[in-house]
Amino acid sequence: MAEERDAGVLGDVSSEILDQAAAIFGVLASPVRLRILRVLSRGESDVAHLAEQVGGALSTISQHLSALMRSGLVDARRDGRRRVYFIADSAVVEVVGAVVERVSGRADARSTEPGHVRGGAP
C-alpha cells in the first residue's frame, strides 16, 4: 500500500485549474518568452527595446508578447503612439525566478563535480 503524504497545494486542485496551469507552463516553455519576462522584470518596455534586448525581429517579439498577454502574464498600456509592456502577474515571474535559481544551482553543482568538462554534455 502506498504511503499517504500531505499533497499540499496540488492535493485539492480541480482538473480544470491544473489544465489552466499547464497552459501557462506551455506559454513559459519558450526561451524567447523567458527572455522577454527577464527584460520586463527590470521595468516597462516597448517592443523595439525588447527586440533589441532579446534579439529578434519586431514581428516575432510582438507575437510572443501576444501569447504572454493572452495568458495574463504581461499587459500593455499606451504611452503616446507606442505601447509599453509590463509584467501583469508578478507571482508567476517569481516562480520562473525560483526555477531559474534551481537550474542555476544544479549547473553550478555539476561544474564542480570531478571529471566535469565545462561546456560538455549534461
Determine whether domain 24-111 maps to CATH 3.40.50.2300: no
Q: What is the pLDDT of residues 44-60, one digit of tens each?
A: 999 999 999 999 999 99
- Which is nearest to 67 in space by CA: 32, 101, 39? 32
- The single-letter code of the amino acid at 60 is T
26 closest CA partner among 76, 83, 91, 70: 70
Model confidence at 120, pLDDT cuts 50, 70, 90, reads very low
Residue spans of the domains in the chain: they are 24-111
Q: Rounded mean pLDDT of 64-77?
A: 97
- Which is nearest to 53 in space by CA: 73, 77, 35? 35
Identity of the amino acid at 40: L
